[in-house]
Copies of this chain bind each other. A is one copy, B any other.
Amino acid sequence: MADPETRLDQMVKKLKENECRITPQRLAILKILAFSEGHPSIENIYEQVKVDFPTTSLATVYKTLTLMKELKEVLEIGFADGSNRYDGNKPYPHPHLICINCRKIVDPDLTTLADMTQQLAQDTGFRILNHRLDFFGICPDCQNKK
């Protein structure tokens, strides 16, 4: 994982390049994204922003995340049940390992995935632009708790 400060600078730079203003609320949200180890939800980010900016609206959080998503600086991990999560540290497609018990999300190493994608493109003629790979299971911590 990149250094959070560096990551924050990258995101701020991207905003400036696109002539977007650096507001206190935006900066606070970017900080949360850059410094978060996990994969926070909208609600989670909202709660954290409100510590420093209690009047922040939920709509602002949605709008900022949508903006960063468009600028390819945040990866949205959307689930069908609406429990979306966000990753501001690795804003490119990568596999996830998700514990269905404690909701923890881990980023595993899967070097063979690139080979698999290339093979698939060759076999099917598709031009592959993106992917989404999630494994669901029980993490070691939760297995031990039983």
Q: Is there contact, CB below 8 Å, between A128 and B136?
A: yes
CB of A133 within 8 Å of the partner chain: yes
For residue A134, CB closer than 8 A to chain B, the reply is yes
In contact, B80 and A99 (Cβ under 8 angstroms): no
Number of interface residues of A (CB under 8 A): 39
Residue of B nearest to A141 (CB): B125
- Tell me, rounded to whole Å, the shortest Cβ–Cβ distance linking A70 to chain B: 15
Q: Considering only CB atoms, which chain B residue lies closest to A140 in the complex?
A: B125
A131 proximal to B (CB < 8 A): yes
Interface residues of A: mostly helix, strand, loop or mixed? mixed
Residues on B with beta carbons closer than 8 Å to the beta carbon of A133: 131-134
A23 at the interface (CB under 8 A from B): no
Report B-chain residues with C-beta under 8 Å of the C-beta of A84.
Answer: 80
Q: With A97-B126, A143-B127 as known contacts, state yes or no: A108 contacts B120, CB within 8 Å.
A: yes
Interface residues of chain A, those whose CB is within 8 Å of chain B, are 76, 78-82, 84, 97, 99-100, 106, 108-110, 112-113, 116-117, 120-121, 123-140, 143
Q: Apart from A78-B79, A106-B124, what 19 extra A-B contacts exist at CB < 8 Å?
A: A80-B82, A100-B130, A106-B126, A108-B124, A112-B116, A113-B116, A116-B116, A117-B135, A120-B135, A124-B140, A125-B143, A126-B137, A126-B140, A129-B136, A130-B137, A131-B133, A131-B135, A132-B134, A132-B136
